[in-house]
């Protein structure tokens, strides 16, 4: 058990940490939501991840995504993996630098106990929900995380058991309402908290 894991165990206990480390979390997207959700989950105690994103780090990402200037131009999944490993060097990371399609979505996340939808494209959001909700015990999506102000608008709603939706469900990103770090990170934290809560909640006997 490394220093990070020792610190986490001191907060949640060894048994809870072991439970989290047996889970495998899928992150569909490694941008504003995905990169922040990932590092929150690592700090919570999760160890196994599937990271999927086709994009590369750009300067415009640095206002809200968990990347640094010297990583500009790198694949997001590789850059994110490097940053997460600095928090816990014992992580088990499966990296896929690819677009999520109807042909690969099930294979990419086949071994995951939970999947967080962290993509921008409406078509990809729809595909993930339609593909993952029927087969995963927990799917946490996001909708409406643009702009700043009124943080209480970012909420977690249960669409149905095992399908949670985070955001205000109305705001859209545009030139006059661009994504900002506080709201994006808040939504990512809510996604991470939903995943943490689900994995630590005892299953009714």
pLDDT in tens, 138-170: 999 999 999 999 999 999 999 999 999 999 998
pLDDT at 204 over 70: no
Domain covering 13-200 assigned CATH 3.40.50.720 in the classification: yes
Query: pLDDT (tens digit, 9 = 90+) per residue, 14-65?
Result: 999 999 999 999 999 999 999 999 999 999 999 999 999 999 999 999 999 9
Q: Please, which pLDDT band fits residue 177 given cuts at 50, 70 and 90? A: confident
What percentage of the chain exceeds 70 in pLDDT?
99
Structure-model confidence comparison of residues 27 and 173, the more confident one: 27
Residue 64's pLDDT is 98
107 CB-near residues (< 8 Å, 6+ apart): none
Alpha-carbon distance of 93 to 148, in angstroms, equals 32
Structure tokens at 3: 């220093």
Of 49, 44, 29, 92, whose CA–CA distance to 199 is shortest? 44
* Overall average pLDDT of the 80-102 stretch: 99
pLDDT score at 3: 96
pLDDT at 129: 97
Specify whether the backbone of 117 is left (phi greater than 0), alpha (psi in -120 to 50) or beta.
Answer: beta
Q: How far apart are CA 157 and CA 162, in angstroms?
A: 11
Confidence tier at 203 by pLDDT (50, 70, 90):
low
pTM of the model: 0.95
* Crossing angle of the two packed helices 3-12 and 14-22, in degrees rounded to 10: 120
Enumerate the domain spans of the chain. Answer: 13-200
Residue 182 reports pLDDT greater than 80: yes
């Amino acid at each position: 058990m490394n220093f990070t894991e020792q610190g986490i165990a001191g907060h949640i206990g060894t048994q809870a940490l072991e439970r989290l480390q047996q889970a495998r979390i899928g992150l569909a997207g490694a941008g504003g939501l995905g990169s922040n959700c990932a590092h929150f989950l690592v700090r919570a105690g999760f160890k196994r991840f599937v990271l999927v994103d086709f994009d590369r780090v750009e300067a415009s990402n640095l206002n809200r995504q968990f990347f640094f200037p010297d990583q500009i131009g790198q694949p997001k999944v590789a850059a994110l993996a490097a940053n997460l490993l600095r928090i816990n060097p014992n992580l088990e990371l499966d990296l896929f630098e690819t677009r999520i399609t109807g042909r690969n979505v099930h294979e990419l996340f086949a071994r995951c106990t939970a999947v967080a939808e962290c993509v921008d494209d409406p078509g990809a959001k729809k595909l993930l929900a339609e593909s993952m909700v029927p087969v995963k015990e927990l799917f946490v999506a996001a909708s409406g995380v643009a702009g700043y102000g009124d943080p209480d608008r970012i909420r977690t709603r249960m669409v149905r058991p095992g399908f949670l939706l985070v955001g205000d469900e109305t705001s859209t990103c545009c030139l006059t309402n661009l994504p900002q770090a506080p709201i994006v990170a808040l939504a990512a934290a809510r996604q991470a908290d939903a995943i943490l809560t689900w994995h630590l909640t005892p299953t009714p006997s």
